[in-house]
Amino acid sequence: MEINQAKKDYCEPMHTCEHILNQTMVRMFGCGRSMNAHIEKKKSKCDYFLNKIPTESQIAELTHKVNEIINSHLPVSIDFMNREEAAKLVDLSKLPAEATETLRIVRVGDYDACACIGQHVENTSEIGTFEIISHDFENGRWRVRFKLINNP
């Protein structure tokens, strides 16, 4: 089997934090993972489809939950599996057409699993503190901009 091991050139702590944010959004709001993301070292953004804008209380809870997972010092691991096996574990709807039969699944402890070719930290303790710096809501799209502070 051919294995696609190409990696996007992302900031590892920020990209791993995106995985945690995505799973937290799924759990809190029942939405899908980010439909659009721009991940960079200084600040990043993710877009989510939501029925209404999150309240300030929900945003504070989201921030708390993401940091709670980061502070759990979860291991980040990589598994390779075929599409059929991966489909039982993760959503493959955003998988590009050129993806190979063998997929790279990134796990953040037992909190999140996602097909991904990006670079990640080895443990969530390497991420720092998640902070939302701004957000806006337009036509069902909630865009959240965030940064990491105290990154080790």
In tens digits, the chain (152 residues) has pLDDT values of: 334 444 445 699 999 999 999 999 999 999 999 999 999 999 999 999 999 999 999 999 999 999 999 999 999 999 999 999 999 999 888 888 888 899 999 999 999 999 998 899 999 999 999 999 999 999 999 999 999 998 65
Residue with tokens 């503190």: 129
Q: Which domains are assigned to the chain?
A: 12-149 (3.30.980.10)
User: Could you write out the three-class secondary structure of 13-72?
Assistant: HHHHHHHHHHHHHHHHHCCCCCCEEECCCCCEEEEEECCCCCCHHHHHHHHHHHHHHHCC
Confidence at residue 99, expressed as pLDDT on a 0 to 100 scale: 86
Confidence at residue 152, expressed as pLDDT on a 0 to 100 scale: 59
Confidence at residue 10, expressed as pLDDT on a 0 to 100 scale: 61
Confidence at residue 9, expressed as pLDDT on a 0 to 100 scale: 52
Q: What share of the chain is helix, strand, coil (3-state, %, to 5)?
A: 25, 30, 40
Q: How many CB atoms lie within 10 A of CB 14?
A: 23
Q: What's the rounded Cα separation, in Å, for the pair 135 and 143? A: 5
Confidence at residue 2, expressed as pLDDT on a 0 to 100 scale: 37
| Alpha carbon 98 to its chain's center | 22
Bridge partners of 49? 141
| Alpha carbon 120 to its chain's center | 11
Confidence at residue 151, expressed as pLDDT on a 0 to 100 scale: 66
